[in-house]
Chains A and B, each alone.
Chain A
Amino acid sequence: QKEVEQDPGPLSVPEGAIVSLNCTYSNSAFQYFMWYRQYSRKGPELLMYTYSSGNKEDGRFTAQVDKSSKYISLFIRDSQPSDSATYLCAMITLTGANSKLTFGKGITLSVRP
């Protein structure tokens, strides 16, 4: 079992839909939780990060973490064609002051106009 499992894709939704992207993890040592967005032929860019259970909102994006269930989600409201990209959940373990960022496999989202 991989440390981070992400719902398989691809996912195609109409413009304006609410999108829910999910990941589960098995390593209790993960302390920080992130979502990255990767456009085709580009590097991943940080979308949101959090370290506590609960919700964190940023514009149309909401990140949700449930540490007791080892489950994180990203919700995208009023999805736009420009949201079409691969979304990767990622989690950090800390060893002293050094970190390691572990990614899920990513899900490709397509938002149809």
Chain B
Amino acid sequence: DTAVSQTPKYLVTQMGNDKSIKCEQNLGHDTMYWYKQDSKKFLKIMFSYNNKELIINETVPNRFSPKSPDKAHLNLHINSLELGDSAVYFCASSQMTGTGGYTFGSGTRLTVV
């Protein structure tokens, strides 16, 4: 049973389009996150949500808007896609404090052409 699942796994789209990535966790965790991994494999946090409430927003452009309909789901919508948005986006979840570690999904590889 997949703990943190993301869809789609691959996304190729043109500049200027709007796209969404979905994430679901079945671990019963309170908190969910979006991370971006660039071409140099550096993982950087974008957002965190605790029980549908936005906790962290790390100076991400307004074109990125997370939405959490319930604590098991955290979606990421990206407007007006740019070439620089090409990256792998990882969803993760944890118990509230996260001190036992975060569980990551397998990633969504976004390519903007």
* Complex contact A102–B45 (CB within 8 A): yes
Residues of B within 8 A of A92 (CB): 98-99
Determine the distance from Cα of A49 to Cα of B44 in the docked complex, in whole angstroms.
19
Mark interface residues in A36-52 (1 if CB within 8 Å of B CB, else 0).
Answer: 00100111111001010
Which applies to chain B's interface (DSSP): helix, strand, loop or mixed?
strand
Determine the distance from Cα of A32 to Cα of B98 in the docked complex, in whole angstroms.
9
Q: Does B61 contact A (CB under 8 A)?
A: no
Which of A16-24, A72-80, A93-101 is the interface stretch?
A93-101
- A98 CB contact (under 8 Å) in B41, B50, B92, B109: B50
* Residue on B nearest A38 in the bound complex, by CB: B41
Interface residues of A in 74-113 (CB under 8 A from B): 86, 88, 92, 94, 97-103, 105-106, 108
* Complex contact A43–B106 (CB within 8 A): yes
* Complex contact A105–B41 (CB within 8 A): yes
Residues of B within 8 A of A46 (CB): 101-103
Residues of A within 8 A of B92 (CB): 43, 101
Given contacts A44-B90, A106-B42, contact A101 B102 (CB under 8 A): yes
Residues of A within 8 A of B45 (CB): 100-102
* Complex contact B99–A86 (CB within 8 A): no
Residues of A within 8 A of B41 (CB): 38, 86, 105-106, 108
* Complex contact B48–A94 (CB within 8 A): no
* Complex contact B104–A99 (CB within 8 A): no
A-B contact pairs, 19 of them (CB 8 A): A43-B4, A43-B92, A43-B104, A43-B105, A44-B90, A46-B101, A49-B100, A88-B43, A98-B50, A98-B56, A98-B96, A98-B97, A99-B96, A99-B99, A100-B56, A101-B92, A103-B42, A103-B43, A106-B43
Beyond the given A49-B100, A102-B45, please list 19 additional residue pairs across the A-B interface where CB-CB is below 8 A: A31-B99, A32-B99, A34-B101, A41-B106, A43-B4, A43-B90, A43-B105, A46-B101, A88-B43, A97-B96, A97-B97, A98-B56, A99-B31, A100-B45, A101-B33, A101-B92, A103-B42, A103-B44, A106-B43
